[in-house]
Amino acid sequence: MLVNASFQPGDFYVGTVTGLCPNTTYEFSAWIMNVLLSASGIRPDITFSIETPSGTILNQYNTGGISVTAQPLWEQYGFFFTTTAGNPDVVLRMTNNAPGGGGNDLALDDITFRPCGPVLSSVIQGNINDTIDVCTDEQTNYFFSASISPGFVLPVFQWQVSTDSGTIWTDIAGANSLTYLRQPSLAGNFWYRLTVAESGNASITACRIASNILIVNAHPKPIVNAGPDKVIIAGRPATLGGTVLGENPTFNWSPPDFLSDVTVLNPVTTADQDILYTLSAESQFGCTNEDQVMIKVVAGIFVPTAFTPNNDGKNDSWKIPFLDPDLGATVNVYNRYGQLVYHAAGVAVDWNGTLKGIPQPTGTYVYYIHFTDGTPDMKGTLNLIR
């Protein structure tokens, strides 16, 4: 703001400041620059006054004649005042004590009201830093404590937590002392701080001062899935289907036997015997997890030739035990008239002897199994017995 002084000394700004806290000490400050370049001109002489709405002066400060400098220079002026207990609104009055004429022009900027209070400092006991990175399954209780310098008569304390990096702070119920015991939580980033205010202002969030922030980052274990168990035919390769999700995880398979590469999620195995593989992962924060997959190796596919769908709990459906869905086989079953009564493609075979919910009669049926991976097709008969 540029001020061109009037010829008569007087107020050039009077305004009401609202939103302050009752019975609170504030620092008022403003930056002023004398824009006069001639040493012989009239120098600005400003009085800042803080008053109650009724006119009682809480404090004031006079700059005296502001010096002329070779180059324009910003200077900060300020003082302290304390709001009343009843009405915290104040009137800011700025008066130019020098007359206008040759000089007495100034620039005014950055007027601030800063609440003053004690210094509040918080720590995590047993930890030299303000931040802890921990895996969710390795969390313990963390003890927060704080200290406060003199300044409040009846301080009211309140611990707060934020889960969005400080955008929104929430009061923690019952956490109203200089200490707080933080218990294990679910995964997430948790920021904590202690706030304090005079007892009469405790309900006014803007009247609180806050400590430094304590951070607990609870990191989840990686999500690990080694894929479904598999049945493979001896002499034929199979691809494992692992997935790993997490915070920049590393992973590997073990044991390395028969695997093409233990450092990829989908290695190829050429196992010639049953084997249990473990997929292990570790996040960038050291959180670990694992999953296993069983590989069963069979000499060939055995196709049952009879079943009895009579709901006695024994052999009630026709299944092909070692026909793994990963083989991509298509299975068709036909009745004596060549009608297709059952079809399965790339899924486990499980026929209950019905067609569209209608039980099929006792008799001999023909199955045909077609493979897409080069395995020879299979054909034969099966008996449905009721």
Residue-wise pLDDT for 213-248, tens only, equals 999 999 999 999 999 999 888 888 899 999 999 999
Average of per-residue pLDDT across 327-347? 94
pTM higher than the cut 0.75: no
Q: Which fold has domain 306-384?
A: Immunoglobulin-like (2.60.40)
Instruction: Give the pLDDT score at 200.
Output: 80
Give the pLDDT confidence score for residue 151 in this predicted structure: 79
d(CA 239, CA 136): 33
Average pLDDT for 38-43: 76
Both tokens assigned to 33: 């620059």
pLDDT tens-digit readout, 271-308 = 999 999 999 999 999 999 999 999 999 988 899 999 99
**Mean pLDDT for the chain overall:** 92
Nearest to 182 by CA among 222, 122, 128: 122
172-197 pLDDT, tens per residue? 999 999 999 999 999 999 999 999 98
Domain residues of the chain, as ranges? 2-115, 120-219, 223-298, 306-384
- Burial of residue 99 (CB within 10 Å: 0-12, 13-18, 19+) is middle
* CA distance linking residue 302 with residue 349, whole number of Å: 13
Confidence grade of residue 326 (pLDDT, cut at 50, 70, 90): confident
pLDDT at residue 5 is higher than 70: no
User: What is the rounded end-to-end Cα distance, in angstroms, of the chain?
Assistant: 100
More confident residue, 323 or 139: 139
Determine whether domain 120-219 maps to CATH 3.40.50.460: no
pLDDT exceeding 90 applies to what percent of the chain?
A: 69
Check if 120-219 and 306-384 are the same fold. Answer: yes
Residue 123: count other Cβ atoms within 10 Å of its Cβ. 17
Q: What's domain 2-115's architecture?
A: Sandwich (2.60)
Q: In this predicted structure, what is the pLDDT of residue 358?
A: 95
Single-letter amino acid, residue 242: G
By C-alpha distance, which of 84, 66, 83 is closest to 75?
66
297 and 273 Cβ atoms separated by less than 8 Å: yes
* Fold topology of 223-298: Immunoglobulin-like (2.60.40)
What is residue 186's predicted lDDT score, i.e. its pLDDT?
Answer: 96
Which string of DSSP letters, residue by residue, matches 326-340?
Answer: GG--EEEEE-TTS-E
Dihedral sign (CA 334, 339, 343, 345):
positive
Check residue 234 and report its DSSP letter: T
